[in-house]
Amino acid sequence: FFALGTMVLPLQRTQKCFFQMRRGNVVKVVREVYLRDDIACGSAYCTVCPRVKSSGVLEADARVYVVVDTNVCLHQIDALESPAMHNIILLSVVLDEVRNQNKATSARLKQLITDTSRRIHFFANESHKSTYTEQEAGESANDRNDRAIRNAVEWYSRHLSGPGAPQVILITHDAACKRLAEERGITTLSLRDYVHAYLEGNSDILDKISTRDDPSSSGDKGRFRTHLTKAQMTQGITQGQYKKGKLSTSMFNYREGTVRIFNDKYPEVLVSGLLDMNRAIDGDTVVVEVLPVGQWKKKGKSKMVARDEEGGDAEGELESGLVEDVEDASASKGNKKLTEEAAVAKGYLPT
């Protein structure tokens, strides 16, 4: 930066890129980047940066601030929208990448930023003098963006150093990014590990975490069991081992659904818990496996109940099963418990 009278002008950088088009033509693209040093970090702990509006202020007494990378935003947006997720720093490089890959997710992130009930701060790292990152020779755009994220986290850690300062953590599921970050002394966690460590294992967030790119769930093969093949389920239905029906999810509890059994004396099965739901959604045709008669418990109407392993209902607990997908050509077995007194079944989900 340089001063002209009383006016402070931003530092100007010029980017030159060459792109080879499909027809073989080489195109030169020149971009001008204006960098500033008066962009606020957004923390109430900081006494250096200019104040930001209260809706975007990160709490001064927070234990940690979290910076989320692009893949976490793309694949874990449901978890990030949970009210328990707060004191989050969203970088401009991340928002740009998300917008280029998924406009719907980008819109949801922008909604989070503008939500006055959340502590989520947008930081323009691509326009900040201390966090702007030049692309190195031979470096891919993706690697450069990952390095820009690490640079921003490192800057935040230095900027907010002091007694009682919140720790800045990078939430990433990328093994290479994690390794490179830790080599620079940056603390990294998966989203699941962060929830366990700092949010007391919040079950609502854990249920919403996608296992698609979560390394902390890679060893948990039993969280969502492998579906049976269509041939296995067809054989089970023919032999009377499984019952076929249609799943209707509850309007009041996304973790619960009812399976209406086709042409059976037990017309309904209550399936409770995401593990028993096993990725089935409303309207899917599913099969359930009925438990031994000795484990049935009748109460009023004939309902068969399956429950998640995470806890029981006050009305009773019995061994039950899970739910599996018929058309997806997959299914699995497992032990479940009852949420209410009824005839009980093991489940297998959507067709």
The alpha-helical segments, DSSP class H, found in 306-348 are: none
Number of structural domains in the chain: 2
Question: Which of 253, 268, 344, 345 shows the shortest CA–CA distance to 301?
Answer: 268
Dist CA 38 CA 312 (whole Å): 54
Residue 170 falls within a domain, yes or no? Answer: yes
- Report the distance separating Cα 247 and Cα 236, nearest Å: 18
Q: What single-letter amino acid sits at 35?
A: L
Judge whether 264 lies within some domain. Answer: yes
Judged by DSSP in three states, 272 sits in strand
192 and 233 co-located in one domain: no
For 124-167, the pLDDT digits (tens) are 999 999 999 998 888 888 999 999 999 999 999 999 988 999 99
Tell me the CATH number at 254. Answer: 2.40.50.690
Q: Which of 179, 208, 237 is where one domain is finished? A: 208
CATH number of the domain within which 165 lies: 3.40.50.1010
**Model confidence over 66-108: pLDDT tens digits?**
999 999 999 999 999 999 999 999 999 999 999 999 999 999 9
Same-domain pairing of 151 and 281: no
- Rounded to whole angstroms, the Cα distance separating 248 from 260 reads 8
Return d(Cα 323, Cα 334) in angstroms, integer: 9
Looking at residue 12, its pLDDT comes to 60
The span from the CA of 13 to the CA of 114, in Å, is 30
Q: Report CA torsion sign: 35, 147, 210, 191.
A: negative
Q: Which of residues 208, 236, 267 is at a domain's end?
A: 208
pLDDT band for 41, please (50, 70, 90 cuts): very high
Q: Are residues 199 and 276 in the same domain?
A: no
Coil/strand/helix, residue 187: strand
Indicate whether 198 belongs to any domain.
Answer: yes
Residue 234 has pLDDT above 50, yes or no: yes
Contact by Cβ (8 Å): 308, 331 = no
> Which of 149, 179, 208 is the last residue before a domain boundary?
208
First-to-final CA distance of the chain: 63
CA dist list (Å): 246 to 232, 334, 351: 18, 20, 9
Is 90 found in the same domain as 146? yes
Q: Which of 100-104, 278-282, 338-342 has the highest mean pLDDT?
A: 100-104
Asked whether residue 240 falls in the same domain as residue 345, the answer is yes
Quick count: other Cβ atoms within 10 Å of Cβ 83? 11
pLDDT at residue number 328: 37
Local confidence band at 308 (pLDDT 50, 70, 90 cut-offs): very low
Same domain, 54 and 203: yes
- 232 and 203, same structural domain? no
Same domain (yes/no): 128, 248: no
Q: Which two tokens stand for residue 219?
A: 């060893």
In a domain, 1, yes or no: no
Amino acid making up residue 109:
L
Of the listed ranges 38-42, 103-107, 265-269, 316-320, the least confidently predicted one is 316-320
Beta-bridge partners for 88: 66, 120
Query: Which pLDDT value is given to residue 338?
Result: 32
Q: 289 and 241 in contact (C-beta within 8 Å)?
A: yes
My answer on whether 238 and 294 are in the same domain is yes
The proportion of the chain whose per-residue pLDDT surpasses 90, expressed as a percent, equals: 38
Q: For residues 302 and 228, give the distance between their C-alpha atoms in angstroms, rounded to a whole number.
A: 27
| Domain shared by 67 and 163, yes or no | yes
If one counts every other C-beta atom within 10 angstroms of the C-beta of residue 222, the result is 11
Yes or no: say if 150 and 185 are a contact pair by the CB < 8 Å rule.
no
Residues 189, 58 share a domain:
yes
Q: Which two tokens stand for residue 274?
A: 């995401």
* Residues spanned by the domain of 176: 36-208
